[in-house]
Structure 1
């Protein structure tokens, strides 16, 4: 390993020396933890520079120290500039006053840069940094204020910055909030409970982690300080200073530099230490199990908003740590360490991380069914920032559900409530659970107005329940004013994912779109084969000695693949605006069973007709059918024409969906005053269509044209009656195309079959 370091170091020195901006490389010096290599680096100064020094204090030749750790090249070098290098500029890492100045020359880590582009790239970044420092271009105020660098801090303080801004004191006096912490080694993770006055002080306990690590955890005080406001305005600090805080005196100095009362701040820390000591449960010189900790946040108003933020308040956090000392606690012994500020989970942070920073996150969503598919789609959307969700499910989360469910909390809780808890943990306080029966919600209207009042929302049914599907499709309460209904379902054990979106006036509806799906199966053998699969979708799974569940056997990864595609589609609708048209979206796996193709198809509104002879029947004619009929009518002109129609019947809702047609056989008779549907090959064509649609579409009647207009003739009625006798108990439809619009009759023969 030593030889490896020696060879790598020698190669690095030679590459640095060959760099065009490097004038000379000095002798190596062995130091603790590595080797320091000095280099003289030329800097292109702006033309206004005088005597080899820029207006910002950068020299035309700067000495840079490359400190190579013994783990090099696995770890990159540390860079240091001269002790008196100007520090009133951004992109300088924390350091102690009077020490070598560490520039931050790369947005990532030099460890990664060395691995990807080598030591030459490090020198390139250094030269660029020095030239920008010389010309005063390390920060562009038009883009925002560069936050104070925290270097390689080991502490993190999590809080909602926007909430903190609203709670900031204006009188210049420090405010104390309660907080929590967990400490392991050097690392400390702290959280602030904004708005909750600290009444507990410092409390700690020692636990052993799963890996055997010692973890100190408990409660601590969080002190927030800001300069006093004057004439209703905050004091602006427009001077950039690198962080040089290491102890209590330097913390006080930093506070004073930003206009904060340093004496009041240190006094508050002394008071908190005293109170914690007096309130400690153990009466001993050192009454706590580990170090004593206090978090400090300096709030500084900047002249412009922070980079990539809408706030002009910068929070500079620290952790004040008094190491355990059996002689007793003293603030003078405290080490003050820089801490990172971490945003707590919230919708805006999740959306920003997902690339949806400018998207409206207030879209209302309702999930009907919070099982494996629904829960995954819900959390995909929640993690993208869309957490304004109503979750409807009255079933419990039990053991076998955890094979695929997105939540991983305890069993025997309600699925909707479990999922809502998970969403709230992501910062979505508005996530609501409704453990009610979904079918009853749509059919009886119980709780409907309260749960789903009029508003712009997307309602996603993922229950895979025919009962719920029927209830939602035909619900008198689910009006366009309430929202848009969508349905997510999977076939063939996750091999096919289907997402339906109803049109903006509930046409096409989900029953129309389902019929359209199976119509497409007729002309798409690949889709047909994927939906059909090789095994039954539903299988009985024993979930207890005397309990079984009828479910679709498939791995979590299969559900996740389908859910991810569906969630991406919904996200696209939410980001770009939910389209007015209905949509049929289908994804199915490739031959290897891993890849997934996704296609979206806009579906035009269906035509709804009321049967003239029996108004209790509704006939919904797909736009593809009306288009094909219109084309055939145009072809034959004044001569009557026609054909057979295929569709799906919902006898309970007394609804017929006409999804496709079969062309008239060659022996059909077309005349000006009549059309007679031929029989040559008709039965085979109808049976083939039924097979190709996976038995979803069947022969449901006929259509013909009346170029001269008019209602059904007596011959038409007699023909309908004759056809209905071949399917007793089932409705048969007769459509008549007329210049003034379609006419429709439905006949149900109540006779007995022989």
Structure 2
């Protein structure tokens, strides 16, 4: 019997091909199939169809499962007359009896036309992109290979999974969590006992560009009245109320049989009769009870009813976690006028595309980085820098506790991670709301704390937090964080901007908070003595802050006079976020890290990141009751002992350099200056000289922008005692009188080194 071709019902194309690329392509097709002419037919007002026959290399032992693929297969190639080659050609089988029910990778039949071949995973837009650097011969070869693979049973890319239907011509989208509905089907969690359907509540989200229904909840039988009350409450709200939700009811139906369906139905029903009696029947689904529920008085269904059909497949559906494929219909409800308890057989159906809601796990998978942890990460400061970093982490699945007591003001929007909808809201609360918008079906991902972050440091953070990230640009909060007893199990990092925003600095503490953020900052400043780039930065900061000897802790954006562009903030935020994420996956490090990200405008916009590592410091308490703590950079204590041994039996000494923080009562010793050549020493005394000392200290102070300088004196007692001598006491008294005359007086810091101890004294 002669096969029936769909192209036989098409009318000849009698127009003129004005598209030169299309004319050239048709000539290439003639050469490919070795025919002198090709017939051009009308496919639509803007498309032409070209029927031709392709040769297929069938398996020598016969087609798998006897599938009816032939050595010569007629196909129809469809071109857009004006959009080609930007719009890729589509290829359809020309056989009306083509075995589409056993062939994955075929689009649905539409308007009585045969199904099309899915040649590129991702649909028509992906096909356009694929064709951008291909020729028509590549398309025809791909179709021929598709047919060969179908004959060999090798169309599925992954033999362990089931390829779902290729759906096109959607009339909207429906959003739900696949795993949630699959669990309902597997557990047969029906609305009624021994039933095969569940009742769903959706929120209708319409815009000028899209039509969406998002699943809000699965409604059990004892919650039907509450569901109706909720819908009524939302319906009473003004249409101008931004909190108003348009709610509707839908259904999920499945087969009570566990028999899997392995055949494809590429012609979905367009009316209720076909849906109930053919489609559901083919998939072993009894839709009788579903129809009764739809027609039940006071059932509360609106005119348009989403109906999700679960089809049990023999293998796990590709891209999902279970062997269930969902087809999403929308019924335009009409009761049969002759039978009030029945649906009108002609009630129309359309179908929608499934959209998986964004979950933290999905966000982590998409971003390629899993930041999902049991405990929260505390982010102190949700300003321009902190908000952007927080959003990066949220989109990796992080659970955050965000502390900020400031509002989002209009000028903040130039650099902030949030948009204008949150103006005059507390930043912390706005960040929490943004997380809810990202993950509407999740429990709380962001806990807001709209108060001073240092209040949280007084709580037992170890119970809820695994990490503290400080982006406050606040010296006051830094001091509180330094002094806070947060326990050794919490990791701490601090990020801020300096150098008018061109330099991003991230300090990452070592294990057990040693080295601490203030240790890292002091050692970074000391590093300027040998690093010209760090020195140049500190010198610039010193010039900008000529009235004080403090480096700007951080560039804040509280004022609308701060000149700093959003792209620079974004670069720093992206770098710091990446570093924080990397640190979260690495084992605890004994070393502390300082990352410097420099943005420059010349010769073009660019950034470069450098890393400096610092070893744990030696920590000692003052011997006298002054509450001061002294923190020695790694190696300094060993160097002091070595110099004592080398000079023994005589005493020796020198000058200590570093910095002091009166708020935290901390002295950081970052280096030594050896005894000047005019110093004198014997077995009982050491008299530190002055030759060249002032110049050496001045060089250090200038190189570090005034951040590192003279901080104290040290000398040895090689024969003891392990205490201050009378001469030491007199020296301290003399120094105290001298220091009190300074504008910013230093503490009097004296260090005594003996064979048995290193003894710091602070007055």
Which TM-score bucket, shorter chain as reference? Answer: 0.7 to 0.9
CA distance in 2 between counterparts of 1:671 and 1:260 reads 103
Alignment partner, residue 358 of structure 2: 345
Q: Deviations over 1:597-644 (max 9, x none)?
A: 122333221111112234522101122544665786798798866543
CA distance in 1 between counterparts of 2:34 and 2:422 reads 62
Figure out how many residues of one structure are paired with residues of the other and give that number.
698
Q: Structure 2 matches for 1:743-754, cutoff 5 A?
A: 743-746=759-762, 748=763
Q: Deviations over 1:409-441 (max 9, x none)?
A: 333322211111111211153221122322343
> Can you give the 5+ residue segments of structure 1 that lack an aligned partner in the other structure?
210-216, 278-291, 749-754
> Can you give the 5+ residue segments of structure 2 that lack an aligned partner in the other structure?
1-14, 335-339, 546-550
CA distance in 2 between counterparts of 1:735 and 1:46 reads 89
| 1:571 to 2:585 alignment | no
Q: Deviations over 1:307-349 (max 9, x none)?
A: 23333333221233479xxxx9985444433322112222012
Alignment partner, residue 107 of structure 1: 121
Q: Deviations over 1:434-475 (max 9, x none)?
A: 223223433xx3xx23xx243551111111111111111101
Q: Is the 8 A contact 2:462 2:487 kept in 1?
A: no
Q: Is the 8 A contact 1:528 1:693 kept in 2?
A: yes
Alignment partner, residue 57 of structure 2: 44
CA distance in 2 between counterparts of 1:38 and 1:185 reads 39
Give 2:466's match in structure 1, choosing from 443, 457, 474: 457
Q: Structure 2 matches for 1:560-709, cutoff 5 A?
A: 560-577=570-587, 579=589, 581-592=591-602, 594-614=605-625, 616-623=627-634, 625-626=636-637, 642-668=653-679, 677-704=688-715
Q: Deviations over 1:552-599 (max 9, x none)?
A: 432222222211211111122234455454221221113527311122
| 1:480 to 2:497 alignment | no
Residue 383 of structure 1 and its aligned partner are, at CA, apart by 1.4
Alignment partner, residue 93 of structure 1: 107
Q: Is the 8 A contact 2:272 2:343 kept in 1?
A: no
Residue 268 of structure 1 and its aligned partner are, at CA, apart by 4.0
Q: Structure 2 matches for 1:133-532, cutoff 5 A?
A: 133-140=150-157, 142-168=159-185, 169-170=188-189, 171-183=194-206, 187-196=210-219, 197=224, 199=228, 218-228=246-256, 234-242=258-266, 244-252=268-276, 253-271=278-296, 276=301, 292-321=303-332, 331-356=344-369, 360-386=372-398, 388-408=399-419, 409-427=421-439, 429-430=443-444, 431-442=446-457, 445=458, 448-449=459-460, 452-454=461-463, 457-476=466-485, 478-481=486-489, 483-530=490-537, 532=540
| 1:742 to 2:751 alignment | no
Q: Are residues 40 and 293 of structure 1, via their aligned partners in 2, closer, same or farther at CA, if it must alter by over 3 Å?
A: same
CA distance in 2 between counterparts of 1:339 and 1:255 reads 17
CA distance in 2 between counterparts of 1:142 and 1:709 reads 81
Give 2:565's match in structure 1, choosing from 528, 531, 555: 555
**611-620 vs 559-568, which moves further:** 611-620
Residue 187 of structure 1 and its aligned partner are, at CA, apart by 4.7
Residue 221 of structure 1 and its aligned partner are, at CA, apart by 2.3
CA distance in 2 between counterparts of 1:137 and 1:225 reads 31
Q: Are residues 432 and 640 of structure 1, via their aligned partners in 2, closer, same or farther at CA, if it must alter by over 3 Å?
A: same
Residue 191 of structure 1 and its aligned partner are, at CA, apart by 1.0
Q: Is the 8 A contact 2:498 2:552 kept in 1?
A: no
CA distance in 2 between counterparts of 1:495 and 1:352 reads 32
Alignment partner, residue 84 of structure 1: 97
CA distance in 2 between counterparts of 1:48 and 1:670 reads 102
Q: Are residues 377 and 575 of structure 1, via their aligned partners in 2, closer, same or farther at CA, if it must alter by over 3 Å?
A: same
**679-688 vs 735-744, which moves further:** 735-744
Aligned to 2:326, the other structure's residue is in SS state strand
Alignment partner, residue 548 of structure 2: none
Residue 266 of structure 1 and its aligned partner are, at CA, apart by 4.1
Residue 103 of structure 1 and its aligned partner are, at CA, apart by 1.4
Q: Is the 8 A contact 1:172 1:225 kept in 2?
A: no
CA distance in 2 between counterparts of 1:530 and 1:27 reads 74
CA distance in 1 between counterparts of 2:17 and 2:753 reads 86
Aligned to 1:498, the other structure's residue is in SS state strand
Give the TM-score of the pair, scaled to structure 2: 0.81
Alignment partner, residue 19 of structure 2: 6
Q: Deviations over 1:688-730 (max 9, x none)?
A: 2122222222210134566778635635565555555542352
Alignment partner, residue 732 of structure 1: 748
Q: Deviations over 1:638-673 (max 9, x none)?
A: 886654322221123221111233344455567787
Q: Is the 8 A contact 2:38 2:51 kept in 1?
A: yes
Aligned to 2:134, the other structure's residue is in SS state helix
CA distance in 1 between counterparts of 2:28 and 2:106 reads 25
CA distance in 1 between counterparts of 2:160 and 2:716 reads 68
CA distance in 2 between counterparts of 1:674 and 1:416 reads 60
CA distance in 2 between counterparts of 1:617 and 1:711 reads 19
| 1:132 to 2:142 alignment | no
Give the TM-score of the pair, scaled to structure 1: 0.82
